[in-house]
Structures are given as structure tokens and as C-alpha cells.
């Protein structure tokens, strides 16, 4: 059941064309070029200061060897239908490490090989000494990025070659040479860096600037922590929900937004774009009335909560036995740059629950520890997962580190759409 009105105001959506060769922990942001005269002056300045870097013969030979190793692995994986398989990525990184290469996966799910070389390189950069090294970044789907890095006088330059597996061969799709604008090896073992990309020699992505924001987990992480992250935390993440941004428990759900939880877990069980999704109602002031039989099982599949408590935390009409539901609109759209979680510790509790210590890594802001929180979970007898609580240990202490946009309050919504 749906009540629906159309926004009266016009909306102009500025298209942001993102590079097609994204990696999991790499973020791209386009910056407007502005006035053409200013752009011309800026372009002349950039051309004068353009980063000049070339691969040495040994680095060229390394690149050929890397491509050969990756190509053989991807060819085998393609035949077996495992181009998106994590174990394939793990085996490939292991093989590259055995050949002496520093290698990592694009989603930071596998420990970096030969990571000491990257630490030593970062130490040289900080000490303003000269140094060179190569990092291989492999990804699902049959792609990889080869980064040749050099440092001198505290400056880090980079050749970034993006290669993709097509028609049985691994070929270079684009190459970019840039000077990093930020470079930091953090105390907790992350490398954070950023730079401007142009993708020269490839298709024209845009005439405006594109920034790449990168985060590598350099120090090894316990494999159990990684598995727990993939099982409990990554499926939720930090996008369009506040489950991990506020303190709550089964005794007091506090500010936990169950409408965001419905969005998240309803889509989990409906692979197609469901009738209640954000995208389906975007641009309208839609109001749905969802039956108790449809709404409550979605929430109760992940939380130990009574119908009475859930009804008190939402808008519920007891006579009709329906929940009022409003999809997120444009006013509730978040900026599309999010941190990603890393489980860095865990405790098995006496009551059968598990408490995970989670660190939010935010490449876009160049911070490896945006904040730290603890998440308690419970496995159910039927193989499901219940979320028991969240507690902020080290809060966000930088006002510039923000991404979440809460849903409109009832009053705010009425002010915007009350006449529709």
C-alpha cells in the first residue's frame, strides 16, 4: 500500500563520472575545473611542473614477470569460473610474494607480502632519502594495478599502470604518472596516500581533475579477524545506516534507525530492486504502509526485539496492523565516500555472544582510524546472525570526518512534503 506525492521543486543532478578502473580501497573524486581562463593558466603551470618518471630496465622486466604470473592465474581462474574467488586472489598474492614482490589485494582482505619493503620505502620518504620500489595490487574479475614508486627529497612519485584480463591476455588499459599530494605511514600499520590522476594514453574520463585516495593495510592482520569482518561487519558497513555510529543494546535500542535496518536487510533477501528500496522511490515523497507480517520478520531476523518495542521505535498503526515507511529522498542522500571496517580484535563472551573491536578506515579523509567501536553479535541455531549491541570506544574527534545523513524527522518531512 502506498501514498505518493511528487516533489514540486526541480532537481538538477550533477553527473560525476568515475573512472572505470576502481579498486576496493581506492576512492576517486572529480573536482570542477571552473573558469576556462583560470584553467588555462593552471594547465600551463601544471605542464611546467609535470611529474617526470620512467621505469628502469629492471622495473620493465619486473612488470613483464608480474603480468605473466597474473595472466596464468587469471586464465586458470576463468576456466574454473573463479575470477571473483577470494582464494584465487590469496593464492596469486602468495605466488607474487614468493617471487619477491610486494603484493596486496584491492579490498585489503589478504595480508600484504614483502611488506617490509614498503615500510623501508616510507622511512626513506620521511627521511628525504632516495628510493624506488614496486607494489602489485590485484583485484577480482581479472585486473591488477602495478605501481612503480620513487622518492627523493621527501617527494613520492608514482607510475600507476592499470591492467585488465581480456580474451585470454592481461593487457595494460591505462597508465598515469603522478606526484602524491599526501603520503603517510601510520602508527597502526596503514599506508595512506593520494594524488591526481589524468589517465593519459587511455580513454578520456573527464577534463576535470580526478583524485585518487588510497589505503593499504601494510602490517599483517590476524586471519580470524578478517573472517569475522567478512561475516559480521562488512555486510552492514557504514553506508546509509547508523548501526555502528551510535551506542545501543538489546535492553535499550536508543537511536538505532530501524528503517535503515529494514532497507538493509530487506534488500539482503530480495536480490532484485524491491518495491521499498531507496532507488525505486528516489525523486518522490512516497509513503508506504507495510504489513506487520512483512515488516517485522525482516527486523526480527537480525535483532532480538519484541513487536511492542519495535512498534514504539517506528510509526505503527495498530488498527490496520501496518508500519508507515518512507524511503530516503534526495535530502537524505549521503556523500558517496565512506570508511570501511577492519576487525582488529575479538572476545568470546560467556553468554555465547562475540564482541568485535572494529576500526573505521577512511581513505577519502586520509585517516586509518576515523573511530573505533565494539560490536556484539550472536549466532543463531538456524545459522543466522543477531546483532546484540554497539558501543563507541574512541569517537570521531574531527568535525570534517562525516558521511552519515540521518533520515528526516516527521516534522522535517511534513514541512517538505506535507502539501503533496
Cell numbers representing residue 62 in the block: 619486473
pLDDT tens for 174-203 read 999 999 999 999 999 999 999 998 755 444
Rounded mean pLDDT of 108-137? 98
The answer to whether the beta carbons of residues 231 and 224 sit under 8 Å apart is: no
What single DSSP character describes residue 409? Answer: P
In a domain, 197, yes or no: yes
End-to-end, the C-alpha distance of the chain in Å comes to 17
pLDDT at 368: 98
Buried b (16+ CB within 10 A) or exposed e, 181-211: eebbbbeebbbbbbbbbbbeebeebbeeebb
CA distance 140 to 83: 6
Rounded mean pLDDT of 348-374? 98
Q: Is the dihedral of CA 60, 66, 67, 68 positive or negative?
A: positive
In a domain, 201, yes or no: yes
pLDDT at 301: 97
Alpha-carbon dihedral angle through residues 17, 195, 160, 20, given to the nearest 10 degrees: -10
CA distance 413 to 402: 22
pLDDT classification of 52: cutoffs 50, 70, 90: confident
The count of C-alpha atoms lying within 13 angstroms of the C-alpha of 289, restricted to the half-sphere facing its C-beta, is 11
Cell numbers representing residue 168 in the block: 585470454
φ and ψ at residue 89, rounded to 5 degrees: -60, -45
For residue 412, CA distances in Å to 171, 251, 328, 407 come to 52, 29, 13, 9
Report the mean per-residue pLDDT for the chain. 87
In a domain, 123, yes or no: yes
The answer to whether the beta carbons of residues 30 and 210 sit under 8 Å apart is: yes
What range does the domain containing 89 cover? 26-220
Q: What is the pTM of this model?
A: 0.85
In a domain, 44, yes or no: yes
pLDDT tens for 201-250 read 444 444 456 899 999 999 999 999 999 999 999 999 999 999 999 999 99
In a domain, 414, yes or no: no
pLDDT at 6: 26
More confident residue, 97 or 398: 97
Q: In a 3-state reduction of DSSP, which class is residue 145?
A: strand
The answer to whether the beta carbons of residues 355 and 376 sit under 8 Å apart is: yes
The answer to whether the beta carbons of residues 149 and 121 sit under 8 Å apart is: yes
In a domain, 298, yes or no: no
What single DSSP character describes residue 330? Answer: G
pLDDT at 420: 61
Q: Is the dihedral of CA 26, 32, 36, 40 positive or negative?
A: negative
In a domain, 153, yes or no: yes
pLDDT at 20: 36
More confident residue, 45 or 301: 301
Q: How many domains does the chain have?
A: 1
In a domain, 342, yes or no: no
pLDDT classification of 167: cutoffs 50, 70, 90: confident
Amino acid at each position: 500500500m502506498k501514498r505518493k506525492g511528487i516533489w514540486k521543486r526541480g532537481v538538477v543532478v550533477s553527473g560525476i563520472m568515475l573512472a572505470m578502473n576502481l579498486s576496493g580501497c581506492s576512492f576517486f573524486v572529480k573536482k570542477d575545473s571552473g573558469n576556462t581562463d583560470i584553467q588555462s593558466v593552471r594547465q600551463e603551470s601544471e605542464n611546467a611542473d609535470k611529474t617526470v618518471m620512467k621505469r628502469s630496465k629492471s622495473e620493465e622486466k619486473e612488470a613483464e614477470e608480474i603480468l605473466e604470473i597474473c595472466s596464468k592465474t587469471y586464465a586458470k581462474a576463468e576456466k574454473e569460473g573463479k575470477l571473483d574467488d577470494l582464494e584465487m586472489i590469496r593464492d596469486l598474492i602468495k605466488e607474487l610474494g614468493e617471487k619477491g614482490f610486494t603484493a596486496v589485494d584491492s579490498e585489503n582482505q589478504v595480508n600484504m607480502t614483502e611488506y617490509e619493503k614498503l615500510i623501508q620505502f616510507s622511512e626513506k620518504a620521511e627521511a628525504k632519502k632516495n628510493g624506488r620500489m614496486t607494489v602489485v595490487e590485484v583485484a577480482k574479475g581479472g585486473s591488477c594495478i602495478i605501481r612503480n614508486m620513487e622518492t627523493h627529497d621527501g617527494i613520492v612519485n608514482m607510475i600507476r599502470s592499470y591492467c585488465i584480463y581480456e580474451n585470454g591476455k592481461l593487457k595494460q588499459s591505462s597508465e598515469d604518472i603522478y606526484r602524491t599530494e599526501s603520503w603517510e605511514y601510520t602508527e597502526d600499520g596503514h599506508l595512506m596516500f593520494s594524488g591526481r590522476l589524468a589517465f593519459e594514453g587511455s580513454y578520456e574520463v573527464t577534463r576535470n581533475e580526478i583524485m585518487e585516495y588510497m589505503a593499504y593495510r601494510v602490517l599483517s592482520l590476524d586471519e580470524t579477524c578478517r573472517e569475522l569482518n567478512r561475516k559480521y561487519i562488512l555486510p552492514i558497513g557504514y553506508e546509509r545506516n547508523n548501526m555502528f555510529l551510535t551506542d545501543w543494546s538489546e535492553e535499550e535500542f536508543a537511536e538505532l534507525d530501524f528503517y535503515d535496518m529494514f532497507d538493509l536487510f530487506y534488500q539482503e533477501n530480495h536480490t532484485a530492486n524491491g518495491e521499498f528500496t531507496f532507488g525505486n522511490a528516489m525523486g518522490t515523497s512516497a509513503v508506504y504502509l507495510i504489513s506487520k507480517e512483512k515488516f517485522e520478520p525482516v527486523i526480527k531476523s537480525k535483532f532480538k526485539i519484541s513487536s511492542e518495542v519495535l512498534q514504539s521505535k517506528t510509526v505503527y498503526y495498530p488498527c490496520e496492523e501496518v508500519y508507515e515507511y518512507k524511503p530516503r529522498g534526495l535530502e537524505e542522500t549521503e556523500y558517496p565516500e565512506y570508511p570501511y571496517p577492519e576487525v582488529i580484535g575479538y572476545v568470546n563472551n560467556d553468554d555465547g555472544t562475540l564482541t568485535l573491536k572494529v576500526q573505521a578506515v577512511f581513505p577519502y579523509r586520509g585517516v586509518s582510524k576515523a573511530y573505533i567501536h565494539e560490536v556484539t553479535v550472536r549466532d543463531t541455531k538456524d545459522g543466522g546472525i543477531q546483532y546484540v549491541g554497539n558501543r563507541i570506544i574512541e569517537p570521531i574527534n574531527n568535525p570534517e570526518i562525516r558521511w552519515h545523513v540521518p533520515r528526516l524527522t516527521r516534522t522535517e518531512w511534513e514541512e517538505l512534503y506535507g502539501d503533496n
